[in-house]
Amino acid sequence: MNTQDLMNTAMLMVAGDKGLLAMDESTGTANKRFAALGIPQTEEARRTYREWIVTAPGLGDSIGGAILSDENIRQSLDDGTPFPKALANVGIVAGIKVDAGAKPMAGHPGEKITEGLDGLRERLADYVRLGAKFAKWRAVITIGPNIPSLGCLEANAHALARYAALCQEAGIVPIVEPEVLMDGDHSMERCFAVTEETLRTVFAALATQSVFLEGMVLKPNMVLPGLACPTQNSVDDVADATVACLLRTVPAAVPAIAFLSGGQSSELASARLNAMNLRHRGRMPWALTFSYARAIQQPALDIWHGDATHVAEAQKALVHRAACNRAARKGAYTDAMETA
């Protein structure tokens, strides 16, 4: 493991107040989003969509790294440029989702365990050859009556840590993503408690597996009330709770924390990240940024709708969301940016 290279890559991914774009939806998830808009669910439609994303003028001003899927990292633009090269050409580091998805966990009704460790060393070597410099693995933690269980938290943390160690061995920066889901009617306080326990368990496992903290990026959920919770806390309350939870659990050696959006609206995802950086900047030892999929892509996908004549307008919407989130990283996002 070359620790200096890992640190350099992690810093590059979030340099210049930039964040990450997650565009690594599995074929199934991408097809579901296309089907909802009547877009054909073909390999070529997915490639076309991702081509106009990575060629959107100005994307590299706000995005430092983009997470690709296994299908996409092997594809090329119309002109034959492979996707990782096309990203590198505009200053964006290419990453790859390497987990094999969250599956029902045996003996744990309602809970999931992420699979994909078997053969991962060999797959990582292949992804390095294809141009990936970082990777992502997502664990899913569900809040419900009597869950998450210790068994689910520990199994997912162990898998994340084994994945992260394999990535670093291969010279790849691991994004460690334990996502506590927003689904449910639980309070923000309950999300705080579950997120705190999740992150404690994850960092204990990372230490046990000798993961080099300076050469990784954490991708957590924000501390939020459940989507069906009758009390929806203010932007500032969410910002304060999230930063308090992270300060308790994430070692200062970690260079960057990049949130997932998890089903928040695009505007709320920007406003909450902004409030964290505005209210707490001086207290935080890590860069606090974004690694959004839906909160950056969805407005643009809605405009595109599979219609080639809408591409330019969709690209503008995509780059606008990326720019709003870059501003949020500096605490400089305002409502006026949405109406300008």
Catalytically active residues, by annotation: 177, 219
Which residues does residue 68 pair with via DSSP β-bridges, in sequence order? Answer: 96
Nearer to ligand 13P, 33 or 123 (CB): 33
Nearer to ligand 13P, 33 or 158 (CB): 33
Residue with tokens 């501003």: 327
Among 112, 123, 186, 294, binds ligand 13P (CB under 6 A): 294
What is the closest distance, in whole angstroms, from the C-beta atom of residue 227 to ligand 13P in the complex? 13
Nearer to ligand 13P, 30 or 105 (CB): 30
Among 50, 123, 138, 321, binds ligand 13P (CB under 6 A): 138
What is the closest distance, in whole angstroms, from the C-beta atom of residue 224 to ligand 13P in the complex? 12
What is the closest distance, in whole angstroms, from the C-beta atom of residue 294 to ligand 13P in the complex? 3
Among 293, 311, 314, 324, binds ligand 13P (CB under 6 A): 293
**Could you tell me if 138 and 132 are in contact, meaning their C-beta atoms sit under 8 angstroms apart?**
no
Q: Is residue 156 a contact residue for ligand 13P (CB under 6 A)?
A: no
Residue with tokens 């269980």: 149
What is the closest distance, in whole angstroms, from the C-beta atom of residue 19 to ligand 13P in the complex? 11
Among 10, 12, 22, 164, binds ligand 13P (CB under 6 A): 22
What is the closest distance, in whole angstroms, from the C-beta atom of residue 69 to ligand 13P in the complex? 11
Tell me how many residues contact ligand 13P (CB under 6 A).
10
Nearer to ligand 13P, 5 or 71 (CB): 71
Nearer to ligand 13P, 95 or 215 (CB): 95
How far apart, in whole angstroms, are the C-alpha atoms of residue 273 and residue 262? 13
Q: What tokens appear for 178 in the block? A: 């334990």
Residue partners of 7: CB distance under 8 A and separation at least 6? 214, 215, 255
Q: What tokens appear for 227 in the block? A: 């989507």
Which stretch in 69-77, 123-131, 200-208, 286-294 sits in contact with ligand 13P by CB under 6 A?
286-294
Sign of CA dihedral 3, 65, 116, 246: positive
Q: Is residue 94 a contact residue for ligand 13P (CB under 6 A)?
A: no
> In the Cβ-directed half-sphere of 198, how many Cα atoms lie within 13 Å?
31
What is the closest distance, in whole angstroms, from the C-beta atom of residue 298 to ligand 13P in the complex? 8
Q: Is residue 292 a contact residue for ligand 13P (CB under 6 A)?
A: yes
In the stretch 169-208, what mask flags binding to ligand 13P with x, by CB under 6 A?
--------x-------------------------------
Nearer to ligand 13P, 96 or 239 (CB): 96
Q: What tokens appear for 101 in the block? A: 């998805």
Nearer to ligand 13P, 51 or 179 (CB): 179
Among 173, 254, 273, 295, binds ligand 13P (CB under 6 A): 295
In the stretch 257-276, what mask flags binding to ligand 13P with x, by CB under 6 A?
---xxx--------------
What is the closest distance, in whole angstroms, from the C-beta atom of residue 185 to ligand 13P in the complex? 20
Site residues (vs ligand 13P, CB under 6 A): 22, 138, 177, 260-262, 292-295
